[in-house]
Amino acid sequence: MLIRLRLLDPGRVRLRIAVRTVLAAVAALLVSGAVGRAAGLPGGMVVIATVVAVMVSRSLHATSLPHRLSALAYVPLVGVLAAFVGRLMAQNAWFGAGVFVAAVGGSRYLMRFGGKVRRFGRLALTPLIAVLVTPVPPSAAKATGPLWGAVCGVIAVACVLGSQQLLPSRPTREAAAAAGDFVRGAARLRALAPGGARHAKAALALHRTALTVEDRLDAARLPAGADRTPLDTLAAAVLTAEVTAGQPAAAPAPGVRPGPGDEPAGAGGSGGAGSAQAAPEQPTPSDRAAPEQGVSAQGVPAQGVRAPVVRSRVAGTPAAVGSSGTGGAGTGGPGADGPGGGGALDDALAAVRAAAAAVRGVRAVQGPAPEPPAPAARPGGWRNPQPQARLAAQLAVAMAAAFAVGHLVFPRHWSWAMITAFVVCSAARGRGDVVHRSGLRVAGAFIGAVTGTLVAHLVAGDDAAAITVIFCYLLVGLWLRETTYAAWAFCVTSLLAVLYGLNGEQGGALLVQRPEGILLGSACGIAAAYFVLPLPTATVLRGRAARALRVLADLLVAARAPEPRPAEIRRLARRFDRATRELAVAAAPARAHRALIRGTLGHPAWGTRRAAPAPPHAADWVDALTACAHAGRALALSDASGLAAARPQLGLAARNLGQVRRRLGNRPDAAPPRPVRTGPPAVIRLDAALVELYDRLPAPPPPPPPSSQAPAATAAG
């Protein structure tokens, strides 16, 4: 149980971020409270400064020092605007709400650009949403005018900067701690029986831990002239150990199909926030004789099914997509000592421990995360707006509808519906993500509304206990936010219930009104996502899949270079891992939909329909793409001589990848891939995974028939 908790947050990276955020919020509470008491202001200013500190802390994490200092100017300026909006809402709710929706929509629209404009749009949302969570008291607005917004912004940003200086990120120490968790996770994986659901989940957790180590190493910024060799050594050791831990127990004999328990789960292809299991999938055209199979979001066998078997079109020999050889030129490689690598795995884990000990002593600071580039121009102009522009329009319409309906149904608590509409639409990636996020929010918020109202009743009259409970909810929610959004929704709804209880809002009626407001806001968000410039989930998935395949193409180019550089190949393999992780995050709604419809079709109430083959689903080809990542990692362990000998096979795999990319782009000139018949095991398995991906991708729509008068003439005759 302890190791499972450790692997939930490898290296305790997210826990440190949550503690830093709570520390900034507590400091903002104390400072703003002192300022408010000195100026004789009501307590609304305290809550707003605290909420702004929480939101700004997330926005300023892993940013450059100039950007953090610029927030001292940006946030107070937007705070002045928020003060005017709060005054308008207090005097004229409908007009004030219109200005508020326009300000939020404009800030969200700015995020379609890159660089400073995108950062300003993200920061501008923080004071506006703080006003929505805690409406400005009219007395405070009249007493101080718009200056209260600037004061809250300055206090919040200053407290965030102070907490970041007091508890700075230590990327090398966090990477070393995550590497220690990786060693424990690998030992746990080896102790589990291959092929089961527990083994698959453990392999998924191990891969997430490996990516955490890699992320923290990349975030480390060393002093000028410092040697990065210890960091590169740890990255290579973790990659070697991960591939070794995912080795199959034994290679099947030619022509013999593995049984349900004969093939262990690989380590998987992506460490995103996707589901830990997937429903059984339909057999592909390349393997019609196989029973229904499934892979998880990370390329490991799903619960209740065996590892996917792909006909490599080489003498009918099946190849496991989720498993991979070492990529050497026909050698046994790290997995030659038996299941899970045996002695080779012990050596690999010992190398990880030694490299982690060396990295722990390296001094480094947190480097700024790279800014996402501005999206390229799309054909069609205003008739085909950018995805971010579509999402901004959906957010504005959803919040406007939530205010209008919420104000009519819940005159005193219309903000609950509006907050929900903002939450489900502000960070949405597409139409399906809005529905998925709404479901998670409703599930978490319903439980949070009940428990939060009960807790608020228990701490009623004790302000110190109520504030302590609020910050405990905040800490847990921030820590588990990346694990599941339902936990964040539960904690936020619970702490808001306690917060409103401090203002005297209690009673059993809130148990019904708060979930009703959440349902209303979710309905407004879903309606906007479907009817206002909709962005289909399939479009989002194809875009992220195209980026992942571009990285895989770069990996094959580097592997086919006249003088391959192992460090560059390892870097590209991890880039491919990250790309598939982003794809897995975007595919969470598709996987949930697949599990829902296939679980419904498999229910005994459907009778004879249980035997019908499962219909194809977009999540199927996403699973096939993420399964390519394990073979890519194994390829990264090949030495230069092995890659040079396998250059013809790598060239054929690159051409097959081109056919897959054409199929993904719905191009009619896509042709079935040609199989790689000889070469290193990693290349053969990568090609088999590409064949599987090609078969699972939907065929492009047939071109319209050429216009001709012959049918009309025949009918007339």
Residue 440 DSSP class = H
pLDDT greater than 90 at residue 20? yes
pLDDT band at 293; cut points 50, 70, 90: very low
The SS3 of residue 563 is coil
Q: Which residues pair with 365 in a beta bridge?
A: 221
Report whether 399 contacts 418 (CB < 8 A).
yes
Please state, in angstroms and rounded to a whole number, the distance separating the CA atoms of residues 560 and 169: 38
Please state, in angstroms and rounded to a whole number, the distance separating the CA atoms of residues 242 and 178: 13
* Burial classification of residue 599, based on how many CB atoms lie within 10 Å of its CB (0-12 exposed, 13-18 middle, 19 or more buried): exposed
Give pLDDT tens digits for 195-215.
888 888 899 899 999 999 999
The SS3 of residue 365 is strand
So where are the chain's domains? Answer: 388-466+485-534
Q: What is the mean pLDDT of residues 38-62?
A: 84
| Lowest-pLDDT choice from 20-34, 203-217, 597-611 | 597-611
| Lowest-pLDDT choice from 58-72, 268-282, 352-366, 596-610 | 268-282
Please state, in angstroms and rounded to a whole number, the distance separating the CA atoms of residues 203 and 236: 19
Phi and psi based region of residue 315 (left: phi greater than 0; alpha: psi -120 to 50; beta: remaining): left
Give pLDDT tens digits for 616-658.
889 999 999 988 998 999 999 988 888 999 999 999 999 999 9
pLDDT at 230: 95
pLDDT band at 155; cut points 50, 70, 90: very high
Which residue has 């982690």 as its token pair? Answer: 356
Long-range contacts of 434-440 (CB under 8 A, 24+ apart): 434/394, 434/525, 434/526, 434/528, 434/529, 435/526, 435/529, 435/589, 436/588, 436/589, 436/592, 437/485, 438/522, 438/525, 438/526, 439/592, 440/484, 440/485, 440/486, 440/489
Give pLDDT tens digits for 319-342.
433 333 444 433 444 444 444 456
pLDDT at 507: 61
More confident residue, 315 or 36: 36
Long-range contacts of 613-618 (CB under 8 A, 24+ apart): 613/282, 613/283, 613/292, 614/279, 614/280, 614/281, 614/282, 614/292, 615/282, 616/282, 616/696, 616/698, 617/281, 617/590, 617/593, 618/537, 618/538, 618/541, 618/587, 618/590
pLDDT at 59: 87
pLDDT at 84: 82
Q: What is the mean pLDDT of residues 283-292?
A: 37
Which helix (H) or strand (E) segment holds residue 311: the answer is strand 309-311
Give pLDDT tens digits for 302-320.
333 333 344 444 333 334 3
Report whether 677 contacts 711 (CB < 8 A).
no
> 365 phi and psi, to 5 degrees?
-120, 165
pLDDT at 258: 39
Give pLDDT tens digits for 77-121.
888 888 788 778 878 888 888 999 999 999 999 888 877 788 888
Instruction: Determine how many CB atoms are found less than 10 A away from the CB of residue 707.
Output: 5
pLDDT greater than 70 at residue 687? yes
pLDDT greater than 70 at residue 609? no
Across the chain, what does the average pLDDT equal?
80
Q: Which residues pair with 680 in a beta bridge?
A: none
Residue 363 DSSP class = -
Please state, in angstroms and rounded to a whole number, the distance separating the CA atoms of residues 553 and 485: 33
Residue 180 DSSP class = H
pLDDT at 604: 52
Q: What angle do CA 233, 234, 236 make, to 5 degrees?
A: 65
Residue 301 DSSP class = B
The SS3 of residue 281 is strand
pLDDT at 598: 80
More confident residue, 327 or 168: 168
